[in-house]
Structure 1
Amino acid sequence: MSDARPIRCLITAGPTREWLDPVRFITNPSSGKMGYAIAEAARALGWTVELVSGPVALAAPEDVELEKVVTGEEMLAAVQRRFPKCDVLIKTAAVCDMRPKQAAAHKVKKDAISWTVEFEPTPDILKTVAATKQPGQVVVGFAAETQDVENYARKKLAAKNLDFICANSVAAGGAFESDHNEIALIGKDGSLVRIGPASKTDVARELIAQLAPHLATRA
């Protein structure tokens, strides 16, 4: 009987928000359902699971360590703090790619709103963290696209130093806010496994089953 410890899995889920002022923000339609389903599937397999979640209306999965964040900067800090001890990072979060260059400290009155806002990019969490990957660590990204999904996913896989990417359509009727999903799991070795269409619960279970053989349990 092995005394090796369980796989340590770090997952990000949900959207992030970037504030215009204390009562207004920009975000996206991510519900967090896919990430939470993956957390539950990984825990059911006996993995130790840490979940970094943006604002969602979901109950915390049982026996999962949950850290709630709001902005992209907060999510980056949480992931960087936790990543060195994890065996696999599965980044399903839909991070808001931009933020206002200047956010107002107080609520802006309607008659004082500027209808032109200058934005700047938020941190690229996946690329930043994957650049620090150590031998034995596996990094899995999600590519949420509305067209040419698998082609864009392959480009992201190479550009961000990932081991796998899940090509995921968010066009009308796609994954955002749905209870169902369909993904193409693409490996850096060129492998391709199609999962779904099925419930996000079933997609999550199959995704974890596909990833498990690539993870060596550490002593």
Structure 2
Amino acid sequence: MSAGLAGRRLLVSAGPTYEDLDPARFLGNRSSGKMGFAIAAVAAARGAQVVLVAGPVHLATPAGVQRIDVRSAAQMHAAVMQALPCDAYIGAAAVADFTPRAPSAQKIKKQPGQDVLVLELVKTRDILAEVAASAQRPRLVVGFAAETERVADYARAKLERKRLDLICANQVGQAGCGFESDDNALLVIDAAGARALGPAPKAELAGQLLDIVAERLA
């Protein structure tokens, strides 16, 4: 058991969010929640008190973890903010950046001769940035950045813009890594530099990341 996690309170978010267009359709993403659930499971096994805010995924709740299920970005924002304070927040969820301005109460029907459907989307609230700026700010705020190019550059910009302590960058769109896969590779970036983890199973990566979290909390 890691002395840095025993008795600590960790808040983890995981999975996608679904933004409803109408009662039949939604905007979503390919996040499986596996990385966030692995982090929650390993942290609980190491003696931490873990609250897991989970988007719509089909994964079993890790042993010893308090799970809060949500669907939308707005619901995830509310659940995360209500779960503060904590020692560390690990935002592994893939939260929608935009949501429909006015979801339809009825199924949107294709009109005769219609070739284009225009959707008006509005920005969602930035959970990571708000946690980092909160009066109840955790001692450690850890973000994730899923990118397809210039992974380190975009992740470091996100770290600085949102005033995070750590950010875990990974490249998506590659076979056997990232979304939906059981394996992953992370580049853990802070103000001082970067540390590469993996490729490895997500449970193994979770342990390596939590070693870093424990060091920082100590």
Establish whether TM, by shorter chain, passes 0.5: yes
Q: Is the 8 A contact 2:16 2:31 kept in 1?
A: yes
- Relative distance call for 1:103 and 1:152 in structure 2 (3 A) is same
Map 1:183-198 → 2, pairs under 5 A: 183-188=186-191, 190-198=192-200
1:110 to partner: Cα distance: 3.6
Q: Who is 1:102 aligned against?
A: 102
Residue 26 of structure 1 corresponds to: 27
Output the CA distance in 1 between the equivalents of 2:8 and 2:71: 27
* Shift in Å, 1:135: 7.0
Counterparts of residues 52-63 of structure 1 (less than 5 Å) = 52-63=53-64
Unaligned runs of 5+ in 2: none
Pairing of 1:109-120 with structure 2 (within 5 A):
109-111=109-111, 115-120=117-122
Displacement of 1:22: 1.1
Instruction: Give the Cα separation in 1 of the matches to 2:138 and 2:72.
Output: 29
SS of alignment partner, residue 59 of structure 2: coil
Looking at structure 2, the residues matched to 194 and 18 of structure 1 have their Cα atoms a distance apart, in angstroms, of 33
- What is the CA–CA distance in structure 2 between the aligned matches of 1:180 and 1:24, rounded to whole Å? 30
1:141–1:164 Cα contact (<8 Å) kept? yes
Distance 2:195 2:44 in 1: 22
CA apart distance, 1:137: 1.2
**Structure 1 vs Structure 2 CA RMSD:** 1.9
Q: TM-score, normalised by structure 1?
A: 0.91
Report runs of 4+ in structure 1 exceeding 3 Å deviation: 110-114, 133-136
Aligned residue for 1:151, secondary structure, equals: helix
Moved more, 113-122 or 139-148: 113-122
SS at the partner of 2:111?
helix
Equivalent in the alignment of 1:66:
67
The counterpart of 2:123, out of the listed 121, 124, 127, is 121
Quote the residue 2:184 is aligned against: 181
User: What is the match of residue 212 of structure 1?
Assistant: 214
> Unmatched 5+ residue regions in structure 1?
none
For 1:89, the equivalent position in structure 2 comes to 89
